[in-house]
């Protein structure tokens, strides 16, 4: 029977453990350049998985992560044995990134994509003042807070969860809109939005209260307006061992184990 993947490329984070694992696995299973591989095996933590997803965004290459880092929510357990069999049996998780378009005070518009989250964060000691518009309708005329965050289901267990935002099942057609240390309205805990919603954030008093906008690891400072929407034109494919899918991990996280 034909294999799902006939060629493998290995990528590793910049740690001795990940590099040593890469050398041993390449010797054992062979490797090809990442650009021509059928599947990528990423050796590191969640940071490497995000970097690899960004690096190959638009190619739809499946990525199978093995944990050789400090955090491995998106990764499978590491083992040098039976890699071919594990790849053949792996389940696919398909996610879409957020597209962020941020305008800075010099009038320049910047674009970046995020797999986990997009957030605005105050740059100084003064709280940010933000206006929130959803699908063209102002839903909150003023939020005074450290900032605000928009998380995908895949990213809902990261910064969003730390900010007391909800954990979303991977297949939920939702986005989490979560305030960061809200001062006013004091009791507002955020909102769940359909994943087709178009979110716009205006930064009020942007000169006095500067705000940065971040899409995963890409930051733009002194923004005045930010648009956020899910980019359904891009499929990002992760592979997970049976019984350890991203759906299962997110569900387990909600029950505290």
Quick check: is 82 in a domain? Answer: yes
Are 103 and 226 within one domain?
A: yes
Q: Which helix (H) or strand (E) holds 250?
A: helix 246-254
Short-list 76, 104, 98, CA closest to 199: 98
User: pLDDT value at position 70?
Assistant: 72
The reply to whether 61 falls in a domain is yes
Q: Average per-residue pLDDT in the chain?
A: 92
1 lies in some domain: no
Residues 110 and 215 in one domain: yes
CATH number where 75 lies:
3.40.50.10330
Q: Is residue 38 part of a domain?
A: yes
The verdict on residue 34 lying in a domain is: yes
Q: What is the largest CA-CA distance in the chain?
A: 65
**Catalytic status, residue 195:** no
Does residue 3 sit within a domain?
no
Query: Would 146 be classed as within a structural domain?
Result: yes
Task: Mark whether 213 and 137 lie in a shared domain.
Answer: yes
Looking at the fold, whether 163 and 239 belong to one and the same domain comes out as no
Cα distance between residue 170 and residue 186, in whole Å: 29
Q: pLDDT tens for residues 48-106?
A: 999 999 999 999 899 999 999 776 678 899 999 999 999 999 999 889 999 999 999 99
- Give the model's pLDDT for residue 5: 85
Q: Which helix (H) or strand (E) holds 176?
A: strand 174-180
Task: Check whether residue 185 and residue 65 sit in a common domain.
Answer: no
By residue range, what is the domain housing residue 40? 8-95+234-254
Active-site residue among 14, 38, 46, 231? 46
Say if residue 18 is in the same domain as residue 136.
no
Question: pLDDT-derived band of residue 170, with 50, 70 and 90 as boundaries?
Answer: confident
User: How many domains is the chain partitioned into structurally?
Assistant: 2
3-state secondary structure of 241: coil
Please give the model's pTM, rounded to 2 decimal places: 0.86
If you average pLDDT over residues 128-141, what whole number do you get? 98
CA distances, 71 to each of 65, 66, 76, 77 (Å): 12, 11, 11, 11
pLDDT confidence of residue 53: 94
The verdict on residue 81 lying in a domain is yes
């Amino acid at each position: 029977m034909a294999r799902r993947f006939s060629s493998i490329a290995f990528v590793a984070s910049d740690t001795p453990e990940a590099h040593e694992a890469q050398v041993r696995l390449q010797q054992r299973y062979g490797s090809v350049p990442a650009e021509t591989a059928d599947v990528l095996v990423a050796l590191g933590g969640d940071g490497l998985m995000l970097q690899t997803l960004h690096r190959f965004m638009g190619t739809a290459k499946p990525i199978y992560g093995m944990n050789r880092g400090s955090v491995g929510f998106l990764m499978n357990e590491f083992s040098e044995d039976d890699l071919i069999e594990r790849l053949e049996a792996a389940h696919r998780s398909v996610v879409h990134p957020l597209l962020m378009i941020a305008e800075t005070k010099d009038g320049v518009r910047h674009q970046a994509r995020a797999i986990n989250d997009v957030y605005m964060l105050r740059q100084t000691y003064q709280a940010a003042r933000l206006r929130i518009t959803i699908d063209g309708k102002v839903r909150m005329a003023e939020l005074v807070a450290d900032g605000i965050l928009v998380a995908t289901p895949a990213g809902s267990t990261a910064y969003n969860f730390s900010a007391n935002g909800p954990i979303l099942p991977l297949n939920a057609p939702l986005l989490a809109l979560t305030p960061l240390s809200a001062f006013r309205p004091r009791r507002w805990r955020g909102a769940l939005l359909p994943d087709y919603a178009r979110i716009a954030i205006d930064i009020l008093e942007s000169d006095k209260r500067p705000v940065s906008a971040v899409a995963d690891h890409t930051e733009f400072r002194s923004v005045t307006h930010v648009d956020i929407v899910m980019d359904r034109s891009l499929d990002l494919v992760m592979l997970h061992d049976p019984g350890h899918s991203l759906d299962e991990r997110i569900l387990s996280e909600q029950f505290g184990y």
